[in-house]
Structure 1
Amino acid sequence: MAKSSFKLSRITIPALGLFWLAVTTLPFIFVVFTSLKTQEETYVNPVWALPESLNFGNYVQVIQGNYLTYLRNSTFVIVVSVALIVSVSTMAAYALARLKFRFNAALFGLIVAGMIVPLHVTLVPVYLMTRSLGLYDTLFALIGPYVATSLPVSVFILTEFMRQVPRELEEAALLDGCGPFKIFARIFFPLSGPGISTVAIYNGIMLWNEFVFAYVLTSSPAVRTLPLAVWEFQGRYAADIPTILAVVTLSTLPLIVVYAIGQEKIVNGMMAGSLKG
């Protein structure tokens, strides 16, 4: 019985892996192949037919438009937002994980509760606040909401991670005369590298695809980000399917590269933050 079940697992596990690989890969392959077709091919040939020739004119058309402006805007907003998220969440996580003060648990619970707040509930107050501050239709209008909505999950991950740092290291630093800031900078921040990488990559990927705040808080093409580029090209070329999918391909490639490089850090950081003891 044991041998038969072992043989069955050797067959089913690779089969399930290949099935999941096909499910996740085929849609992207379809998008890439269709983006290389002409508009006439998409209407005349079958949907899954290979392109008759590699037509890169769709990509040239997209790049010659506002795509590079959208890419620059997205890169700026994501880099600044992720830097602020990492800075604030690491300091907050250290205080919640290692410093003893009143209402520590209540404050941590309040921060974690922010994870369940629906995004759309905040749109109107955030829009009004942005208008009153004079930040509407600027890239800085996106940074505040991005940081605020990303902090709960970031603090949660890093707090659980910092609770696992051996207390002996902290006590040794205290004996050497280090204060809380030095202990954080010299011990907890370096040792939390996997968790920080997880937070940075996770939030970078999530914010790269963010559409709602970018749509509500910006209006001019000069300050719009990549998700709005997809939306704009879809409106502008409503029937030009290959051009639309060329935008999707160009917008997705940076995410694929980043995730391929950092997927191990994400998994290890999530696993480390979920274990106690």
Structure 2
Amino acid sequence: MNKKFRFPRIGVPLLAIIWLGVTTIPFIFMVVSSFKSQEETYTSSVWALPAHFYWGNYAAVLQGPFFTYFRNSVFTVGVSVLLITIISAMAAYVFARVRFALNKTLFGLVVAGMIVPLHATLVPIYLLTRNLGFYDTAFALLGPYVALSLPVSIFILTEFMRQIPRELEEAAQLDGCSPFRIFWRIFFPLSAPGLATVAIFNGIGLWNEFIFAYMLTSTAEHRTLPLAIWDFMGQYASNIPSMLAVLVLTSLPLIVAYAFGQERVIKGMMAGSLKG
């Protein structure tokens, strides 16, 4: 029996360590290489440590329009995540608790939206954005980001809210609470782990989104960080350390956010998958 269970006890941690190395080594390489000078990049080994930490790459990046891109990303992602969280929570409450004839049908249509190919929406969204006058504005990305993120967000929160005890809802109804007050006072606070999961999941995805940002904006005044990387790649076509410095600065906010929110994401996913 001991031999039978030896592999799971040893193999799982070993696989976890291997996966940690696979995901961590590229980031370490990126950080270390960003501190090399341009000359050192071509004269030393790729895996060699820098002879001295050269901060000129970061200085060159920060002196450019990096903070403009950063501000645009914070605004776009922040507003989008806020709208996604509120709208998906309200819709999930309706699907999870309100009984009406088309409940399952509409929920099925929402879930079906998860399988719509992203590239199939590019031309319609581009034309709609131009016709509405939002092209290359601060609001150009809000509509596509919110709309395309709602199906999976509603799905996650609906399954989460179905696990909330119905006795709480019935007690609130006896006290004379309206459906909106029941949602706002009971379901919204109790869904905090699920809401955190949705916020962090969508925040990470939208922070790295490229195709819509590239298609719906054209000037640096309204572009986001993924397009900053694109522009810096053109500006530093042969300056690899500077390109890596851009990548490091762009990824730092995500690393910090996930470091503080990973526990909430895991708890939210687990709670939404368990039966009450």
TM-score (norm 2): 0.97
- What is the CA–CA distance in structure 2 between the aligned matches of 1:80 and 1:274, rounded to whole Å? 28
Mapped pair 1:163 → 2:162: yes
- What is the CA–CA distance in structure 1 between the aligned matches of 2:71 and 2:162, rounded to whole Å? 38
Mapped pair 1:183 → 2:182: yes
- What is the CA–CA distance in structure 2 between the aligned matches of 1:265 and 1:45, rounded to whole Å? 43
| Residue segments in structure 2 that go unaligned for 5+ positions in a row | none
Following superposition, the deviation at residue 188 of structure 1 comes to 0.4
Matched length: 276
| Residue segments in structure 1 that go unaligned for 5+ positions in a row | none
Please give the residue correspondences for 1:4-153 in structure 2 after superposition, counting only pairs within 5 Å: 4-153=3-152
Whichever residue aligns with residue 177 of structure 2, its letter is C
Whichever residue aligns with residue 102 of structure 1, its letter is A
Give percent identity, aligned residues only: 66
Aligned to 1:251: 250
Q: Is the 8 A contact 1:157 1:273 kept in 2?
A: yes
Q: Is the 8 A contact 1:160 1:276 kept in 2?
A: no
Following superposition, the deviation at residue 272 of structure 1 comes to 1.6
Aligned to 2:227: 228
- What is the CA–CA distance in structure 1 between the aligned matches of 2:30 and 2:238, rounded to whole Å? 15
Runs of 4+ in 1 over 6 A off after TM superposition: none
- What is the CA–CA distance in structure 1 between the aligned matches of 2:59 and 2:4, rounded to whole Å? 54
Q: Is the 8 A contact 1:230 1:244 kept in 2?
A: yes
Aligned to 1:194: 193
- What is the CA–CA distance in structure 2 between the aligned matches of 1:267 and 1:201, rounded to whole Å? 11
Q: 1:175 to 1:204 in 2, by over 3 A?
A: same
- What is the CA–CA distance in structure 1 between the aligned matches of 2:160 and 2:130, rounded to whole Å? 38
Following superposition, the deviation at residue 74 of structure 1 comes to 0.2
- What is the CA–CA distance in structure 1 between the aligned matches of 2:85 and 2:6, rounded to whole Å? 46
- What is the CA–CA distance in structure 2 between the aligned matches of 1:149 and 1:17, rounded to whole Å? 32
Following superposition, the deviation at residue 268 of structure 1 comes to 1.3
Q: Secondary structure at the match of 2:136?
A: coil
Whichever residue aligns with residue 179 of structure 2, its letter is P
- What is the CA–CA distance in structure 2 between the aligned matches of 1:8 and 1:166, rounded to whole Å? 40
TM-score (norm 1): 0.97
| Residues 242-262 of structure 1: CA deviation (Å, up to 9, x unaligned) | 000000000001101111111
